[in-house]
Amino acid sequence: MVTLSALVHFLSTLPHRTITYYPDEYIYATLARSFATTGRFTIRGANAHFPALLESIVTAPLWLGSNIELSIRLVQALHAIVMSLAAVPVYLLARRLRLERWQALASAAFLLVLPGLAFARYLTADALAFTLTLTAIWTAIIVLESPTLLGQVAFLALSGLATFARLEYIVLPVAFMVAAFAVSGRRAPRRYPIAIGAPVLMLLLGLIVGIQRLLGYYSGVTEEHVSALRILAWMGTDSALLAFVAGVVMIPGALVGLGVMLVRPRLARERAFAAFYIAFALGLLVEAGLYATNGSDRFQERYIFVLLPLIPIAFFHLVQVGRKAFVASFAVAAAIVLYASIEPITYTSGRGDQDSPFLAGFKLIEDSIGRANAALLLAIAVSTLALVGAAVTLRHRLIWPALALSLLFPGTISALTFANNSSNDRRVVRTYLPRDFRWIDHAGFTNVALIALKDSAREQGLESLFWNRSLKRVYITDKSAAFDAFTTYGLKIGANGELLSDDGSSIGTPFVVEEYADRVQIDGAKLIKRALTNSFWRPVGVPRFSSLTEGLFFDGWLNRKTTTTVWPPKGRKNRGVYVLRIGLPAYAETSAKAVFTAPHFRRAVTLHPGAFTTVRIPFDVLGPWRVRVLADGIFMLADGRLVSGFAPRPPDVIRSSRT
């Protein structure tokens, strides 16, 4: 079963040709390359204070070669194997809690069809952390019943490795402490001196050294605003959506089963499992809620999907003990039905599905039948599955159809997630990458700069940096829109369009300009090559922008507001003619109006489908000259961009020959 899963999930990674999970894939892969080649953890030449380094250490040997495509496949293969192996600790834990063999196998099979295994395709730490965490939980239940010193050390080692992979699993020792006191009461510190004492000492050491220093890249979490009510609201939302991801059927019985294990256990290990699981779940939900309330208001399935594989264990326990828990199970089912009825899924818009494989799969249903119909369909499916789950506690003969539904629902979503991710991968390749992904390296230069303009897509820059090792530094023209958390340099545009770094010096190395939503004309530099959304230049003097158009996409579509700035040559007047051919393609459904404004100039142009108009604006000024195009029509493209007009070619600036 594990071997088949590893093969299937590796094959599902094959459409994933490049990074699409930003910025995480870039960070982990870059750190792994750096460690493999230099023995240090650096990003763009500077030390990276990143506390979760296990993924980069483990995969570093796979990045030693120059074949980046091969390295990606090797990492994906490793992830597929590791995530599939997570079924082993789940199976062993189920058997330790005295579930029958078929129930333990069903629990393992449930894990292998979860949408969250889609993280095997990404160059992130989720695969390692997922399996290490489940192994740590299995070890914890053994130690809580038989507290040997070796077992406690093993649990702490596994917890430490899981945390070293993904920082949110720092709640593992806390969950152990809660379970220890639930099982042993005041005797817990004496029974588990290492498992309790070591984390307390580590916490004290962290307070002495400084939590922010230890957190490094994640130090901003100590400055986040804490709103208890908003965190509680997100905990409720995440819990409900997590039930949807699990296929709902097992949720009523699992929650009641956890209560039975905690209050009336047959064995101490059952109470240990229930206490550990509840404490662990609350810890992860608080972390996810804190993250969601501080700028990432979306379903954080990535943070909490490790809770899902343990749900069948609690469910099968209730079935096995044979308690008539129909009333309690039906109450849980009714709550799920109520939530599904009054709270439609609204987290798929924008990047709301970024951290949720479940929502990524569900989005395909939305795109096919519409958001309202998809929400209704999900509400009906969830309500039906919840009632089936409650009915199992009354008629245990329903266990087989319930089990089939429990595997079918997440399995179907997993297939949809694969389809959506594959489509997204193709879109990224079409939008941000030329045919030769390493086109900058292949130009033969070893020290190249990347210039990110105001409207540059961060994803585009990360793609270029990932594939081209000759890119050594990043310049940004808009410091208010940070490129990422690592080293960048400011770039100022002088009075004559000169490109000046923070220290006032001009750029002396070859450079790549991102032109996803901007277009430039440059003097003092020779164009080496132009890719789909980038241009590559080599200085032949002092590089300067002759003109910059902001708000013009690479494929000719204009944003609602488009601005072109023209700078004068040094020591000369700024004189010439601005020319733009603008209109709408024939398939546009409605007309629009575009208003051109410049000093002493204003003209409104009506844009009709299939028709184009050429606008010419002369200018004769001493300094920079600017023209703005403001459109009143907005169209949404298939990729979600909001656009107005269409220009077959970028604006042309025809310079006057007179000085």
Tokens matching residue 604:
């409104």
Report CA torsion sign: 435, 438, 439, 443.
negative
Mean model confidence pLDDT for the chain: 88
3-state helix, strand, coil in the chain (%, to 5): 55, 20, 25
Question: What pLDDT, on a 0 to 100 scale, did the predictor assign at position 351?
Answer: 59
pLDDT(178) > 60: yes
**What percent of the chain has pLDDT above 90?**
54
Tokens matching residue 457:
């897509």
Confidence of residue 208 (pLDDT cuts 50, 70, 90): low
Give tens-digit pLDDT for 285-315. Answer: 998 888 888 766 778 899 999 999 999 999 9
Give tens-digit pLDDT for 435-464. Answer: 899 999 999 898 999 999 988 888 889 999
Confidence of residue 213 (pLDDT cuts 50, 70, 90): low
Confidence of residue 218 (pLDDT cuts 50, 70, 90): low
9: exposed, middle or buried (C-beta count within 10 Å: 0-12, 13-18, 19+)?
buried
- Range with top average pLDDT, 85-94, 325-334, 361-370, 506-515: 85-94
Contact between 510 and 472 under an 8 Å Cβ cutoff? The reply is no
Q: For the domain bounded by 555-659, which CATH number is listed?
A: 2.60.120
Close Cβ partners of 516 (under 8 Å, ≥ 6 residues apart): 431, 432, 455, 456, 457, 460, 533, 553, 554
CA 146/CA 154 separation, integer angstroms? 13
| Helices 371-392 and 399-432, axial angle in degrees (round to 10) | 150
Question: What pLDDT, on a 0 to 100 scale, did the predictor assign at position 634?
Answer: 75
Confidence of residue 628 (pLDDT cuts 50, 70, 90): very high
Would you list the domain boundaries of the chain? 228-432, 448-554, 555-659
Nearest-10 Cα torsion for 82, 83, 85, 89: 120
CA 137/CA 155 separation, integer angstroms? 8
Average pLDDT, stretch 491-500?
89
Question: What pLDDT, on a 0 to 100 scale, did the predictor assign at position 214?
Answer: 53
pTM (two decimals): 0.89
Question: What pLDDT, on a 0 to 100 scale, did the predictor assign at position 368?
Answer: 85
pLDDT(390) > 90: no
